[in-house]
Amino acid sequence: MEALIIIFITGLISMFIAMTKKPFLVLITAMIGLLTAISSLVYQVNFPYEWLNYDGLKFDVFSNMYGIVALVFGLLIILVGYETFKKEPEHTGEYISLLLFSLCGVLCMLAFTDLFMFFLGLEILSIPIYVMAGSRKKDLKSSEASMKYFFTGAFATGILLFGIAWLYGAVGTFKIDEIAAAIQNPTTHSSLLYVGVMLILASFLFKVGAAPFHFWSPDVYGGSPNIVTAFMAAVVKLAAFGAFLKLFTVAFGGIHDFWAPALVILAILTMFVGNLSAIRQTKFKRLIAYSSITHVGYALMTIISSNMNNAFNLWTYLLAYGFSIIALIVVSKIVDDEDDELASYKGFARKNPFAGFVLILALLSLAGVPPLAGFFGKYLVFSSAFADYPWLVIIALVNSGIAIYYYLRMISSSMSKDDNEELEAYKINPVYTVVLAICALGILAGGVVAML
């Protein structure tokens, strides 16, 4: 709870500090606020104490763990974005406070105990992103991304509300523990309930970008400014999956047999759609978008399987995934190619060995090569699903095999050399170096931590 308040106040303060037109000051404020919030979450991760009591939000171990990761990712993304912000100092405050407000939404989405708070959190999370996705106003692609994201997002929200209404009709409450209790009673299993759950499921699939609701994600990822892409891929996905897991395992756990088969089929579809489209991509961010659709497919396996450790498995998976995505986005900022062609990454590792090393590390982690964090995330997710759905795991492994193709293509292209082309080394900003180093550390250490 404190973390939420701290971030909200930091967001407000940054807006006012921005009036001084000193971007650096805003950055420092945001950093201090975020670090305070993170330390307060870390401090109470196992012993949440509630001197501020509010029924709608409950910060337990689950939401604290997910919250820490979301805030760390937010911090890294603000650091990365700072270079862009500096170019237009009059807007720095807006960017940073929008990101901070969005993070408030993330915390609401992770800690909700009733559907009302959940809906509010989702909106607080999404609205700043609609704005930021279109923040490069003169860029047609950015405007397109913003429009697409807004329309599909608003549509998904509408479906969600509709679903919540049906659900309310069936169980007569918004509280998730009361819903769970009501669902234990078979008399509530009316078509009202089933339709409601299905509509909520659809809206979640929209938010996480699973097939067949994935069409927005490549365009939005490709068109948005880099940091917004990173934010959507790393943080929004984390929040949406956290809420997804909480809602479906806690509240709808009683009717697992009803929604699980649908989700199984969609997870398989998601994996294949993402992978097979990613193979043909020629643009970097679109490739990331499609590959992240595949990763959504893997992550859905945790929600499907009824395993004790699912929350932790999903957390590990999203942690590894987020660090890799942020590293990839930093690399894409370093390359700084307007058209975002994959070809311009050729020889990247030779031009800047350190950033190239992190790029390769991130790609290998996404591909699931041990001993990187991505492998352990994948292993945990797959092994937890194996008991109930062995063939789903087999399909997921087949997809890992397909995915290695495009990751490997990028790895070898980033290391290849053109003899006739002279190497101009990329000079990278120290901020990027720091962020890349943190990501590399996360990818390497994440594996070790998951092992212990």
Partner 1 sequence: MELLIIPLVFALIACFLPKQSLKYVSIAGAVTSLVVALVHTLAYCGSSHYVSIFDPNHVTTFGLTFKMGYDGMSLFMVILTNTIIPLIVLSNFKSEIASNKKFVSMLFLMQFALIGVFTSMDGMMFYIFWEITLIPVFLIALWFGAEERKKILTKFFIYTFVGSLAMLLSLIALKSTASSFSHADLVAVQLTSQTAFWIMGGFFLAFAIKTPIFPFHTWQPDTYTVSPMVGTMLLSALMLKMALYGMVRWMIPLAPEAMESMVPIVVILSLIGIVYTAILAIKQADIKRIFAFASISHVGLIAAGIMVFTKDSVSASFLQMFNHSLVAVGLFLCAGILEQRLKTRNLYELGGIAKLAPKFGFWFAVIGFASVSVPFSSGFIGEFLLLKELYQYEWIIGVLAGTTLVFGAVYTLRAYQLSMFGAPKHESFIDLTWNEWIVFFVIGMLVLAIGLFPQVIFDFVGPSIDKLMESVELSKNIVE
User: Residues interacting with partner 1, by CB under 8 A?
Assistant: 309, 364, 367, 369-371, 375-376, 379-380, 382-383, 386-387, 390, 393-394, 397-398, 400-401, 404-405, 408-409, 412, 415-416, 450-452
Which amino acid would we find at residue 91? H
Work out how close the CB of 312 gets to partner 1 at its nearest, in angstroms, rounded to a whole number.
8
- Closer to partner 1 at the Cβ: 140 or 452? 452
- Closer to partner 1 at the Cβ: 149 or 389? 389
Work out how close the CB of 440 gets to partner 1 at its nearest, in angstroms, rounded to a whole number.
15
Which two three-digit tokens encode residue 226? 């880099």
Cα angle for residues 258, 259, 265 (degrees, 5° grid): 120
> How many CA atoms lie less than 13 Å away from 202 in the CB half-sphere?
17
Work out how close the CB of 364 gets to partner 1 at its nearest, in angstroms, rounded to a whole number.
8
DSSP, residue by residue, 349-376: HHH-HHHHHHHHHHHHHHHT-TTSHHHH
Those residues whose C-beta lies under 8 Å from the C-beta of residue 308, and which sit 6 or more positions away, are none
In terms of residues, how long is the chain? 452
- Residues in a beta bridge with 156: none
Work out how close the CB of 77 gets to partner 1 at its nearest, in angstroms, rounded to a whole number.
29
- Closer to partner 1 at the Cβ: 155 or 312? 312
- Closer to partner 1 at the Cβ: 232 or 403? 403
- Closer to partner 1 at the Cβ: 32 or 423? 423
Query: Exposed e or buried b for every residue in 344-370, given b needs 16+ CB within 10 A?
Result: ebbbbbebbeebbebbbbbbbbbbbee
Only one residue has tokens 């870390």, namely 42
- Closer to partner 1 at the Cβ: 169 or 401? 401
- Burial environment of residue 451 by CB neighbours within 10 A (0 to 12, 13 to 18, 19 or more): exposed
Work out how close the CB of 411 gets to partner 1 at its nearest, in angstroms, rounded to a whole number.
9
Work out how close the CB of 131 gets to partner 1 at its nearest, in angstroms, rounded to a whole number.
42
Those residues whose C-beta lies under 8 Å from the C-beta of residue 6, and which sit 6 or more positions away, are 33, 36, 37, 40
Among 161, 23, 2, which Cα is nearest to 86's?
A: 23
Work out how close the CB of 299 gets to partner 1 at its nearest, in angstroms, rounded to a whole number.
17
Largest CA distance in the chain: 75
Work out how close the CB of 300 gets to partner 1 at its nearest, in angstroms, rounded to a whole number.
18
- Closer to partner 1 at the Cβ: 175 or 378? 378
- Closer to partner 1 at the Cβ: 344 or 383? 383
Which two three-digit tokens encode residue 168? 């309310």
Tell me how far apart the alpha carbons of residues 107 and 92 are, in angstroms, rounded to a whole number. Answer: 23
